Amino acid sequence: MPPDTTPLLVCLYPFAYFSRKQNAIFLNGDQYEEKKRDPRLLEEKERAATKLDTGPHEASAAGSPSSAARESRKATRYLDEVGSQRIVVNSHKATSWAAAVVLTAAVASAQNPRPPTSGASARTEWAAAGHQGDFIMRNFRFADGSVLPELRIHYTTLGRPRKDASGIVRNAVLILHGTTGSGRGFLTATFAGVLFGPDQLLDSTTHFIILPDGIGTGKSSKPSDGLRARFPHYGYADMVTAQYRLLTEELGVNHLLIVLGTSMGGMQSWMWAERYPDFMSGVVPLASVPTQIAGRNRMMRRFVSQSIRSDPEWQNGDYRTQPHGLLGALEMLFMMTSSPLYLQAAAPTRDSADAYVDSWARVRMRTTDANDFMYQFEASSDYDPSPGLEKIRVPVLAINSADDLVNPPELGLMEQLMRRVPSGRYVLLPTTGETRGHGTHSLPAIWRRYLADFVAGIPH
């Protein structure tokens, strides 16, 4: 994975445009309703989009290139721009949402100045934003009984905590990344620029934003640090334990406004709601399902692991160069997490599709370690919050997208499981030109309004 500037491997979709087909399905207990977005908002989105420079995505969709060579160069540029996370965002500001959640706090003196929310400078400055630190836990014991003399959890924070008269932190927000991501991956114009900027929903001058790197990812302890395949086989339970200790022992946080997670982070959000039911005011899992991973999702993870483990070049984890089996594992993830609509527009011909995927594979093979990647997927084996859903005491807003191949809505799992959540609401985003398959979880311009309604309704 490219460090810091790329949010998640599973978020491969840097561009967006707007469609008139805007519907969402909500589930609250046994109640269903279908609503359409305000058409005035859609018109404003479209007007905003036409005023912006046309990106490569829109250009390729609008007309055919004059030659295969041009298509190949364009497809390569699409990949090069993934790290910059270009997207056309909604310029409409729902000030009432911001007013409902504004808290008062000063920006930490160690924090970099808050970046602007759009343009190339925003991408650069968000990438440098926040205060970084490392929390070292001595003799950390994993759920399987193994012990690591030192477990390092890297983290980034923006803003500073604000306590009420009783000493309870009231403005802390924990945001958990996906399987191959990192906390700093959220510091992009399309995520931080939409949620953390001036007068936005989680404005970093009024909120204390906490972005940890999970065990095995980012700059936290991981197999590639030196132990390789002798690194303890951690699970999601270990990752959540380390996150809780980071907050309580290192950062002095005794309460969270919300826990918000994407993909793996969404699954861990469900675990937070069950393990620490009084520690937060609300939970927002995105692109996840609160039950044991099974079916095609589990099979995909097995394919990822087996592609690496069965390769003789892996050498039981002691390889000198990345084994070729890593490429097969990456390709499996690409197919499971990509968006057909986006890829068809980005690579509309044979040659452009070949150039796109070749460039993508070269980048990922340079920036991914096989042991780390394998461990990250194997860590999900212990995940299953379904037995405790009735015990969740905090409000839950679960958001998935209809084009998510990892969590396909046709299985009906969310409808069954959400009925068991006492204060749960489920939003299924429809497939549109905005959505990016599984990677929709990292595009808050699409789901921000549901988050705003949710935050406005929970205690502060």
State CA 323 to chain mean position distance.
Answer: 27
Share of the chain above pLDDT 90, in %: 72
Q: Are 43 and 20 in contact (CB under 8 A)?
A: no
What is the chain's mean pLDDT, rounded?
81
Average pLDDT of the segment spanning 390-401: 97
Average pLDDT of the segment spanning 415-432: 97
Q: According to the model, what pLDDT value does residue 119 have?
A: 59
Q: According to the model, what pLDDT value does residue 343 have?
A: 95
In a domain, residue 59? The reply is no
In a domain, residue 2? The reply is no
In a domain, residue 260? The reply is yes
Instruction: Give the number of C-alpha atoms closer than 13 A to the C-alpha of residue 67, restricted to the C-beta side.
Output: 3
Q: According to the model, what pLDDT value does residue 120 have?
A: 63
Give the model confidence (pLDDT) of 300-358 as tens digits: 999 999 999 999 999 999 999 999 999 999 999 999 999 999 999 999 999 999 999 99
Q: According to the model, what pLDDT value does residue 53 have?
A: 29
**Cβ neighbours, 10 Å, residue 422:** 13
SS3 string of the chain? CCCCCCCCCCCCCCCCCCCCCCEEEEEECCEEEEEECCHHHHHHHHHHHHHCCCCHHHHHHHCCCCCHHHHHHHHHHHHHCHHHCCCCCCCCCCHHHHHHHCCCCCCCCCCCCCCCCCCHHHHHHHHCCCEEEEEEEEEEECCCCCEEEEEEEEEEEECCCCECCCCCECCEEEEECCCCCCHHHHCCCCCHHHHCCCCCCCCCCCCEEEEECCCCCCCCCCHHHCCHHHCCCCCHHHHHHHHHHHHHHHCCCCCEEEEEEECHHHHHHHHHHHHCCCCEEEEEEECCCCCCCCHHHHHHHHHHHHHHHCCHHHHHHCCCCCCCHHHHHHHHHHHHHCCHHHHHHHCCCHHHHHHHHHHHHHHHHHHCCHHHHHHHHHHHHHCCCHHHHHHCCCCEEEEEECCCCCCCHHHCHHHHHHCCCCCEEEEEECCCCCCECEHHHHCHHHHHHHHHHHHHHCCC
Residues contacting residue 364 through CB under 8 Å, at least 6 positions apart: 1, 9, 330
In a domain, residue 333? The reply is no
- CA dist., res. 56 & res. 73, Å (int): 11
Write out the two tokens for 234.
């951690």
Give the pLDDT band (50/70/90) at residue 192. Answer: very high
Write out the two tokens for 333.
């993830």
Residues contacting residue 153 through CB under 8 Å, at least 6 positions apart: 134, 135, 137, 212, 213, 215, 220, 221, 242, 243, 245, 246
Domain count, the chain: 1
Give the model confidence (pLDDT) of 74-124 as tens digits: 433 333 322 222 222 222 333 333 333 322 233 232 333 344 445 566 667
Domain that holds residue 29: 23-51+83-296+374-457
pLDDT at 250 over 90: yes
pLDDT at 256 over 90: yes
In a domain, residue 360? The reply is no
Give the pLDDT band (50/70/90) at residue 460. Answer: confident
pLDDT at 4 over 80: no
Domain CATH number, residue 253: 3.40.50.1820
pLDDT at 134 over 70: yes
